[in-house]
Chains A and B, each alone.
Chain A
Amino acid sequence: MTAAQPEPAPACPVHDYTPYELKPLGGWTAFYDELRQEAPVVRNEFGRGYFIPTHHEDILAVLQDPETFSSEALVAYEPDPSYKWIPAMIGGEEHRQWRRQLGPYFSPREIEKVDARVRARARGLIEELAGRGTCDLMTDFALKFPTAVVLEVVGLPEDDLPFLMALEEDINHAIGDPGDVIRRKVTAIDAVKRYLDGKIAKRRAEPADDLITKSLDMQIDGRPVTDDELLNWWQFLVQAGLDSVAGMLGYFFHHLATHPADRRRIVDQPETIPAAMEEMMRAFSFIVTGRKVTRDTEIAGCPVAAGSMVQLALKMSGRDDTFYDHASTVDFDRGTSNHLAFGAGPHRCLGSHLARRELRVALEEWHKVIPDYRLGEGEPITEFGRSSGVNTLPLAWDV
């Protein structure tokens, strides 16, 4: 007699694939589309196994119920993480206090104030590239631009950009044996924290007009935040600030490079950019988050036991054709931005307003200088099943 795990409900098909596999661009999207056709919830046995809701309604329901679906673990195949991203992996009243205090620095009003600096960053990078006629959008622009903005907002020196980008590579893009990937990720997270630790004493001695200084005065439950909490928050900020905007830019520019009519529209009518952006976020959102189940429950009729992990691939929501007509088509006239690219519920991305501004500025400034471009020669463009964008995006244009 085998000591069997309980069989998943028959309505929940079981797969066994690794999210670390690199597929050609579009490969993971196609795979997720297939999973959606199979059932409202599927299961992947990778790691300790996890459930994957495949429709918008169920993904939204999970995100809106943080007590049942806790963010104490955010990566479906890392159910007992050794790191603690603040405030993402905190819940309840404590989480509300963090968001109340951090919120003013990331509000739409505040982001409006940094517009000029964000624009100057973008212009600087684009002007450097313009005469070259080719670039790798990822390494030459998409990975540098958001990182530089975050460094400025947080209060870290520009010279540290390459160092932080190398560590970020390990946190989000490590390839290889899963155990090795996790080890590299944890090592890099610790390295970022040690680097940031050096800044605490400096800022206490010499306060600056940056987020590091402002965070020092924060309070939780009436007591000052600890150095460890500050490090966990800043490490998470550096990580969150780098990859998501970069990844989104990769997908934006790939679409625009391969759809000349859409690109022409943005060039001729730049006022279309906000709507175009929202539509591309809906169609290409690549963020994959997760939750840990705190009590026996069900998702779309599929029983899910306490302790289970749930994976939320936000693209599943955006491409759900029971929620969006012609979901797999990018349509700049769709006229809606109610997608879940920034999540939903209390953990809705704190950086969403900054991210939207960076994306808009990048599209506006790039197309003023380089309006016509195409895919260039280079390595095959691939993507992970993890929460990561494309690895490379060669572009070429006439100079």
Chain B
Amino acid sequence: MKVSIDLDKCCGHARCNAVDSELFQLDDIGYALHADIDIPPGAEDKARQAVGECPERAISLD
């Protein structure tokens, strides 16, 4: 499973990071560090949760 983050839409709420700080890492000002994230097996539910948690709808499943 892969996840994409639209970095222009990301406004640094860090709700994805609150779901899983390893999967959804932040830069030095608290915005998404990576635009493309590979989701390891077993972490699919966390990825889906993060998609729903983003107030900006910046995260999508590929």
Contact = CB atoms under 8 A, between A and B. Distances in A.
B52 A108 contact: no
A339 B26 CA distance: 20
A55 to B, nearest CB: 15
10 contacts: A64-B9, A103-B12, A103-B31, A104-B28, A108-B30, A109-B30, A337-B18, A337-B53, A339-B55, A348-B13
Contact of B29 (A60, A104, A352): A104
A339 B9 CA distance: 16
Interface bracket on B:
10 to 19
Nearest to B18: A337
Interface residues of A, number: 23
Interface in A105-146: 106-109
B60 to A, nearest CB: 14
A107 B26 contact: yes
Given A108-B17, A338-B54, A352-B13, 8 more contacts: A109-B30, A338-B53, A339-B55, A340-B55, A348-B11, A352-B14, A353-B14, A353-B30
Nearest to B13: A348
B32 to A, nearest CB: 12
Interface of A: 60, 64, 99-100, 103-104, 106-109, 274, 336-340, 342, 344-346, 348, 352-353
B34 interface: no
Interface in B13-59: 13-15, 17-18, 26, 28-31, 52-56
A353 to B, nearest CB: 6
A279 B26 CA distance: 24
